[in-house]
Structure 1
Amino acid sequence: MTEMMGWGDNASWPDGDLSARPLGEMEAMASRSEPQAVGAQVWETLRELGSGRMRQNDLAAATRLRWARLALLAATRKAEAATGDAQAALTDAVYLRAAMIRTFGTGPTGGDRDPADLVRTVLHTIGRSPAEVASAAVGWRPASPADMLGLRRIKNLLTGLKGLDAYLDQADPLREEMAVWLSLIPRLP
């Protein structure tokens, strides 16, 4: 893992290799650090580390879930530390939450493993109707770079939701709405 030096006076992050630090120490540091004091690169390093350890089957499920939550916190803090696009920042969180649902099952309503909450969050972030996105997708080739990027980000958000319909109640109207949205993926750049 890359060495991280000078993590900001406010954060008091230790110098050196994060992968050698205890999980509890990283959780404590991440939860009390100001996003801007630490910087986006440190949060990205924590997100990568947490995401990787979440997938280590030799760890206990409870430990892997803690790593997943650290990765999710880091992705959120990275977005807060950066001045970038909200949709681009949300994509990491969408993929992490979807992986948590697939790996650990669903969780409490409104929690990080609630598939309906995740789908609603993505659709709210898109902020357009499926018809509007479908219309924009028809002529994306001559579109401006900014418009193409917007459509690409929508595709990235939607792709993270693939397979989550299995975790939604059969009678939930959100399941059908999600199917309409997912059908747009092949048409997006």
Structure 2
Amino acid sequence: MSCQKGIPVSSYLVMTQVNCVVPAMKLLSSVDSPVTGNPNVEDLWNLETIGIVESLDITNDDRAMEQFNKSTYCENGRYYVTWPWKCEYPDLPENFYVAMSRMRSLAKRFERDKDLLMRYNEVIQSQIKQGVVERAVEDKKETLKHYLPHHPILTPTKSITKIQVVYDASVKSKKGAKSLNECLYRGPVLLPDLCGILF
């Protein structure tokens, strides 16, 4: 590297973006500022170096964890926690007819496959017994009512659980309405970052 007047040979030339074609000699005669010594390699990928800093605002994950910590309690050897609502009175419409329509489709599938019906019923009864789900009862009170459509997922390759019941919390009662998932905080992701696993 040739030494320009006043710039040490060990310096690095930092050039700005050029919007026009400039002869190489003229381009190298204009220097932004020298960076003396060896640059810290970590600074090359450090986001703070280019002005990206982590927000100090409370995130949705923080709010979800705050609700989780405030509402968790233990009773009869079981832990309970409230739903992580984004607001106190969510705008979640009743979706009875959507859930009933899905149930009718599922019933037609069960008519064609009685074995699936028996295994599905075993899973549902087990979940009721464990208190995972509860039977929806007729309620005349003006309270929030929202139903979760469900369907089976078959995993014949698994040796233990060959049938799983999947509850659809992303279903919407009509276009423009919110789903249950949209009214709840997701909560922090507990899985490791994929980039961290790969590198």
How high is the TM-score relative to the length of structure 1? 0.19
| Larger of the two Rg values belongs to structure | 2
Task: Point out which structure has higher relative CO (alpha carbons under 8 A, 6+ apart).
Answer: 2
| Higher fraction of helix | 1
Scaled by the length of structure 2, what TM-score is found? Answer: 0.18
